[in-house]
Chains A and B, each alone.
Chain A
Amino acid sequence: MEGLKGMNIATGRHCSHLFSGALVLLALFAVICLPVPAPAAQDCRFCHDEPLYRVDFNKSIHAGNGCTSCHVGITDVEKHRDGKEKPAPVDCGSCHQEIAKEYRNNFHYIQEDFQCSDCHRNIHAIRQDKDRNVKLAIIEKCTECHGNADYTTSGHGEAVLKGNQDAAACSDCHGLHNTRVFHTSLEQYPAEARDFYTQKCKRCHADSAMMTRNNLSDKMVAYYEGTYHGKVQELGYPAPVAGCGDCHTKHNILPKEDPRSSIHPDNLEANCGRCHAGFHARFLSYQAHPDYTDRDKYPALYITFLFMGALLIGTLAFFWVHTILWWRKVYWEQDRMEREGVVPPSVHATGEGLQQVERFSVKYRIMHVLLVLSFFTLVLTGFPLKYAGTEWAATLTRLWGGAHMAGLFHRGAAFLLIVGMTYVSIESLRFLFPKGEGRKGWLGRLLGPDSLFPNLKDLQDFKGMLRWFFNKGEPPKFDRWTYWEKFDFLAVFWGMFAIGGSGILLWKPEWSSYLVPGWVMNIAALVHSEEALLAALFIFTIHFFNTHFIPNKFPMDRLIFTGTYRLEELKEQRPLEYERLMAEGRLESMKRGHPSIPLKLISATFGLGSLLLGLFLTVTILWSVLFG
């Protein structure tokens, strides 16, 4: 330290008796006004003379920086030498700002107060090496502390060690400077962790280029997203459903052929058993990544997919054409009447024509209201799951109070519908086999005018309607039920078997496995989803139109809520029924008072509200089908 004598390093001034007074003044000015220069690297190395600082540092990536770029706060080397002045803690974030920002939420900082140098221990000798296997270096660093047994036996670990740069190293899933606070032993944030890691898996496994060059399928993510697990997960409210790691485990990720793999057939029972309890062994044939379009691998699923698609497209296409033709005819007909000044008799009915007659009894009106409520609840809770990736689905689910709550409402509404359906079935049987009559004449009742079962007249009526649509004749005369009303009724029956049956199977899949194998759940999910789409679109476009939006009833027909209409309307819409009632002398017993104002108001509000909600949902669903 002798050499330092006489040298005022703190100011960097070299005093000499040779300088003139003016220069001393100038130097003093510099002391006062100019910033204090930090000690130079050679000053530091005078004491810190290890090869690390003298040799390695000069070759390191930070060589261009002086010691005091990082070790700030030394103003006087002598004071520092005497231990009176210590440098401030190194703040790497003063240059590496982005990393410092990320690191603020890093688990290692939050929980263990790691500083940069705790991982970057060789900071003074760190070099930039383009040929370095970064992934391998990361693995080596992390496994200094974290037991590597799990990871190194995994497919990812093995691939990285073999030099595959696509395979995931620690940081690809856990982040590097932004390692999240999802401590596995605490499991404090299981939902967030599940979502976070599932997104990490998806990022690579949905990357077509990466999957193709590694001889893996890039569709696995999409197939998973089509399942109940994937949809609930995607809704962003991960109720306890399986994310990737729940089945493939956290580190032990191996192909299913490997006996150590969690998805190896021998390990499936324990694997699924982590979430599901009390299932039969055949439950395990459920496909977590089903491909509906793979005819060879999943023939039953493929056939169901084709059938449901054909049913959906066929039914909608048929009725949409029917509706368009009908609307055309009625609109043109109304235009003609408007021009000619013709008013339908039901509009200016007088006297007897004003008499209200009952079409729907209180019981059936209540049932329709319950059906509307349960149907909307089912649609509003089920469709967010069907279109889980959309914004509206997430918003709607939030309104329900999360996916779990939405699921409870869905089941509640389904229960209501099942009860209603059972009641209708009992009513139908009573209609066919009334007390006292038994089986006698049941076929006549089944095909009779009061039955909702289709008969030959319906075929004739349909033909008649077609002729009328094309201006080839008068519209057919209807009896109590038109063929489209019968279709509406029977469609609900079929729908209940398809949606209700599949829904009950899916309700408690573990119990269902005692009835059917797990792969039937895949079919049930497909049927439930596609039939729901058919039902919703049918009700919101076809039923709404046939019953309410047809120009002569627009915007709504309140009949189903008030239960009565004018005698003149009965005559006009259902002449055969009117004639039957007259002939059988039953008309008198069908006469009712005019509906009250409160009932009309409630009917209008509920009815129009339902129609608007249905239309809104139609737009939303169609948007999701076409652009989702």
Chain B
Amino acid sequence: MSRKNLIGLIVPAALILITALAACSKPQEAPPPWKVVDASTLRAMMASDKELPVFNTMSELECLDHRIPGTKCLSCEEVENSPNTVLPPDKDRVIVFYCESAGCYRSCRAADAAVKAGYRQVHVLEGGMPAWKQAGYSMETIERVPRGSIQSLRAQALKQMLAERKDLLLVDVRSEKSYKEGHIEGALNIPLYRFSSGYAVIPLDRTVVLVDDRGFRTFLAGSYLEMKGYRVMRLFGGMEAWQEMQAKKQ
């Protein structure tokens, strides 16, 4: 009888414990094939190795506007296209990539390409430039783009405006690959990584609407164009917002 009693007490308790443990454990993701460094570690690394190759993976336009002092501009498209030409020849050399946003999307793409090309000491700055800035470290400006007043348009408003106005010219600043995968009809593709050399084809008598992936990168490009004498607007939320609007309609 007593054994039966014991079972009666232990079984429910064990069941609850197992449920709790099962609920708490999470599946683990595979670690990336590169190392992650935080802002203070990177700063220390740069202080001890003055020649340390640290790459800003944004476009040249963005990189020259503001970057971590002592780092080089190398867009992730350039790394992806020809890693062996643009990266240091020594594949055991420590190299670091960073980008504009905390999500480190572009630095991860560059790091991935470098690892695939055989580089063995690839690092990515954790949290990107935001982490560097939030740590209170200074930035460096080579050629600053004066910030303009660039109005952003919601996807719905842009759609309506495209139907009503003929002077609008959509300029898609995403990579060639993303552009090929899908773009707004009539959009011209001038990827950001070669924007300063490519913008001149835009006729001055058109009102430019800049489109990017998520709406983060058109402000600076817009300010650049405004500086060059263009009338510019940008798509709020980028292609993501546009596609979301299209999906909702369907």
**A interface vs B, CB < 8 Å?**
89, 104-105, 109-114, 118, 144-147, 149, 181, 183-186, 188, 362, 365-366, 369-370, 373, 377, 401, 405, 408-409, 412, 561-563, 592-593, 595-596, 598-599, 602-603, 606
Shortest distance from the beta carbon of B23 to any chain A beta carbon, whole Å: 6
B180 within 8 A of A: no
Residues in B with CB closer than 8 Å to A373 are: 12-13, 16
Number of B positions contacting A (CB below 8 A): 46
Chain B, residue nearest A185 (CB): B237
In contact, A401 and B24 (Cβ under 8 angstroms): yes
B101 within 8 A of A: yes
In contact, B240 and A185 (Cβ under 8 angstroms): yes
In contact, A412 and B19 (Cβ under 8 angstroms): yes
Top 4 closest A-B pairs, CB basis?
A: A185-B237, A596-B2, A118-B147, A144-B149
- What separation, in Å, do the CA atoms of A437 and B150 have in the docked complex? 87
In contact, A602 and B219 (Cβ under 8 angstroms): no
**Which of B2, B66, B220 interacts with A595 by CB under 8 Å?**
B2
Shortest distance from the beta carbon of B62 to any chain A beta carbon, whole Å: 9
Chain B 1-12, CB within 8 Å of chain A: the 1/0 string? 110111011001
Chain A, residue nearest B148 (CB): A145
In contact, A181 and B216 (Cβ under 8 angstroms): no
Give residues 132-160 of B contacting A (CB, 8 Å). Answer: 133-134, 136, 139, 141, 146-147, 149-154, 157
- What separation, in Å, do the CA atoms of A446 and B240 have in the docked complex? 68
How many residue pairs bridge A and B at CB < 8 Å? 97
Residues in A with CB closer than 8 Å to B236 are: 147, 185
In contact, B219 and A104 (Cβ under 8 angstroms): no
In contact, B2 and A598 (Cβ under 8 angstroms): yes
B214 within 8 A of A: yes
- What separation, in Å, do the CA atoms of A487 and B157 have in the docked complex? 66
Q: A113-B139, A563-B5, A599-B6 are in contact. Are A185 and B133 (CB under 8 A)?
A: no
In contact, A145 and B8 (Cβ under 8 angstroms): no
Q: A89-B141, A147-B157 are in contact. Are A113 and B65 (CB under 8 A)?
A: yes
B215 within 8 A of A: yes
Shortest distance from the beta carbon of B247 to any chain A beta carbon, whole Å: 15
Shortest distance from the beta carbon of B160 to any chain A beta carbon, whole Å: 12
- What separation, in Å, do the CA atoms of A149 and B136 have in the docked complex? 36
In contact, B65 and A110 (Cβ under 8 angstroms): no
Shortest distance from the beta carbon of B15 to any chain A beta carbon, whole Å: 9
Q: Please, could you name 13 A-B residue pairs with CB atoms under 8 Å apart, sorted by A?
A: A111-B101, A112-B147, A112-B219, A147-B152, A185-B215, A185-B240, A362-B1, A369-B9, A401-B24, A408-B23, A561-B9, A563-B5, A602-B9
In contact, B152 and A146 (Cβ under 8 angstroms): yes
Chain A, residue nearest B24 (CB): A401
Residues in A with CB closer than 8 Å to B103 are: 188
In contact, B5 and A111 (Cβ under 8 angstroms): no
B94 within 8 A of A: no
In contact, A183 and B157 (Cβ under 8 angstroms): no
In contact, A186 and B12 (Cβ under 8 angstroms): no
Shortest distance from the beta carbon of A379 to any chain B beta carbon, whole Å: 14
Shortest distance from the beta carbon of B148 to any chain A beta carbon, whole Å: 8
In contact, A114 and B147 (Cβ under 8 angstroms): yes
Residues in A with CB closer than 8 Å to B66 are: 113
In contact, B151 and A370 (Cβ under 8 angstroms): no
Residues in A with CB closer than 8 Å to B215 are: 183, 185-186
B53 within 8 A of A: no
B126 within 8 A of A: no
- What separation, in Å, do the CA atoms of A335 and B149 have in the docked complex? 88
In contact, B1 and A366 (Cβ under 8 angstroms): no
- What separation, in Å, do the CA atoms of A563 and B2 have in the docked complex? 10
Residues in A with CB closer than 8 Å to B5 are: 362, 365, 561-563, 595-596, 599
